[in-house]
Chains A and B, each alone.
Chain A
């Protein structure tokens, strides 16, 4: 999938040139379509629940998080959000996970690794995102990928060089116009 190929999808669900603070944003055809897609994605019997069950079956005892329980409200995201917790690798790592995102706007997905690490920032911590994986994370990634493609056949992985492309004339997540990316539009701002 190319940025040019994904832009028409984005523009079906996000109004061009309209800020979320603008009066009328929520009445746009695109926003209403997005809300309907979210509600439908969160309805009973959705494939996301099946995927979570299958992944859980592979890793009994592991902590898994379903970050899409809010979808019936019609708020936030263009994709399902989930992650599997992994043990931290050292004192510097507070939290480690393999995250997986499945868009319900386009047939695409993302798998990434993320860690909260100790860092000299105002909060004392920062998040590190990875799209390549160390050997100990590979088995998790392979299993999750296999289950994603089994439940969502034909879906394609969106690499960061595509996902991080700016969509200059829409807003998604909490970003200002000019800061929104394909990843934000098609998936979420909660990585």
Chain B
């Protein structure tokens, strides 16, 4: 009986050690390293583009043996918008980490279990939706790298 209880805990501990960008707790902003891909052209509207690609790891602990998988995502947003001004890479990373964390929780609980491809698709869609809802003037985008 004790062994039965121990197995998932050991598995979870191993996963926690192996996966620094785990969705248990919160994703760290340091996971999202934004780089400029289109420079600011100085025009009036939104301008420039910055993006970060990351492999995000997930663990579903709702079953006896926790299941782990990862999704590759690319998050992009302008360098500057007429409504918000300049968006620093640090600010972009902070917003991305918060949105990714919340999207993970929202999507995970929609089904008792997930196929990886379906989860990743729904996760990216949820991130896009949360960005639109929380930061409607930002114009952030989420897709696959």
Q: Do A and B come from one complex?
A: yes
Chain A interface (Cβ < 8 Å from any Cβ of B): 19-21, 52, 56, 63-67, 69-70, 72-73, 75-76, 85, 94-95, 97, 116, 122-127, 173-176, 189-190
Partner of B124 from the list A19, A67, A125, A174 (CB cut-off 8 Å) is A174
- Residues in chain B near residue A189, CB distance under 8 A: 125, 128
- Residues in chain B near residue A173, CB distance under 8 A: 125, 143
Interface size class of B (residues with CB under 8 A): 35 or more
Partner of A69 from the list B48, B124, B125, B130 (CB cut-off 8 Å) is B48
Q: Kindly state whether residue B19 has any CB partner on chain A within 8 Å.
A: no
Secondary structure type dominating chain B contacts: mixed
Question: Which residues of B44-67 are within 8 A (CB) of A?
Answer: 44-49, 51
1/0 per residue, CB under 8 A from A, across B97-137: the answer is 00000100010000000000110010011001110111011
Partner of A63 from the list B37, B76, B83, B129 (CB cut-off 8 Å) is B83
Provided the pairs A20-B144, A123-B106, A174-B125 are in contact, do residues A85 and B137 lie with their beta carbons within 8 angstroms?
Answer: yes
- Residues in chain B near residue A64, CB distance under 8 A: 45, 82
User: Is A52 in contact with B125, judged by CB distance below 8 angstroms?
Assistant: no
User: Is A69 in contact with B46, judged by CB distance below 8 angstroms?
Assistant: yes
Give B132's nearest chain A residue, CB to CB: A127
Chain B interface (Cβ < 8 Å from any Cβ of A): 37-38, 44-49, 51, 74, 76, 78, 81-83, 102, 106, 117-118, 121, 124-125, 128-130, 132-134, 136-137, 139, 141-144
Q: In angstroms, how far is the closest chain B Cβ from the Cβ of A139?
A: 21
- Residues in chain B near residue A63, CB distance under 8 A: 82-83, 137
User: Is A175 in contact with B125, judged by CB distance below 8 angstroms?
Assistant: yes
User: Is A116 in contact with B137, judged by CB distance below 8 angstroms?
Assistant: no
User: Is B82 in contact with A65, judged by CB distance below 8 angstroms?
Assistant: yes
User: Is A176 in contact with B121, judged by CB distance below 8 angstroms?
Assistant: yes
A127 to B136, CA, bound (A): 10
User: Is A75 in contact with B76, judged by CB distance below 8 angstroms?
Assistant: yes
- Residues in chain B near residue A70, CB distance under 8 A: 37-38, 49, 51, 76, 141
- Residues in chain A near residue B78, CB distance under 8 A: 69
User: Is B128 in contact with A67, judged by CB distance below 8 angstroms?
Assistant: no
User: Is B45 in contact with A65, judged by CB distance below 8 angstroms?
Assistant: yes
Provided the pairs A70-B38, A73-B38, A173-B143 are in contact, do residues A65 and B121 lie with their beta carbons within 8 angstroms?
Answer: no
- Residues in chain B near residue A66, CB distance under 8 A: 45-47
> Can you report 23 residue pairs joining A to B where beta carbons are below 8 Å apart?
A20-B144, A21-B117, A21-B144, A56-B44, A56-B45, A63-B83, A63-B137, A64-B45, A65-B81, A65-B139, A69-B47, A69-B48, A70-B37, A73-B37, A73-B49, A85-B83, A127-B132, A127-B133, A174-B121, A174-B144, A189-B125, A190-B128, A190-B139
Give B37's nearest chain A residue, CB to CB: A73
A162 to B46, CA, bound (A): 30
